[in-house]
Amino acid sequence: MYYIVETDKSFDQAATDLDAAVKQHGFGVLHVHDLGSTLRSKGIEFEEQCKVFEVCNPAEAAKVLATDMRLNMALPCRISVFTDKGKTMIGLIKPAQMLASLSQDAALVQVSEDVERKTIQMVDDAK
């Protein structure tokens, strides 16, 4: 259900490269949640780094919503750059598997497989 790769890049470089890869594949970055900084700003001890990129391709999102409006709760796609015990990782929850658990519509299967292929390529490009 997960697709996670380790990279030799620094956390900051991996985040910069993911941002570029997302845009190169025709998606937009809607927001970046810096979970590490947010937790630390609330007084919580948290040593790892974690940025969650909310990414979206409007045409693909419209297809999903046209199939089943309830799936708005599963959008946008999220790709994370994070550290784990000194290693920099980039990963996502595979859209096809996640959406398959929410809907069996054949049209959705095709869209989610296309999005999954593209988001995995973004991760690989940023690696």
Q: What's the pTM?
A: 0.93
* Residues with Cβ within 8 Å of residue 22, at least 6 apart in sequence: 28, 29, 53, 55, 79, 122
Tens digits of residue pLDDT in 83-123: 999 999 999 999 998 888 998 888 888 899 999 999 999 99
Tens digits of residue pLDDT in 33-46: 999 999 999 999 99
Q: Where are the alpha helices (DSSP H) in 25-105?
A: 35-41, 58-67, 95-100
* Structure-block tokens of residue 2: 């997960």
pLDDT above 90: percentage of residues in the chain: 88
Read off the pLDDT band of 76 (50, 70, 90): very high
pLDDT of residue 34: 98
Residue type for position 55 = V
Q: Mean pLDDT over residues 28-57, rounded?
A: 97
- Domains of the chain in start order, with CATH, are 2-126 (3.30.310.70)
Say how far apart CA 68 and CA 17 lie, in whole Å.
Answer: 33
pLDDT of residue 105: 87
pLDDT of residue 73: 93
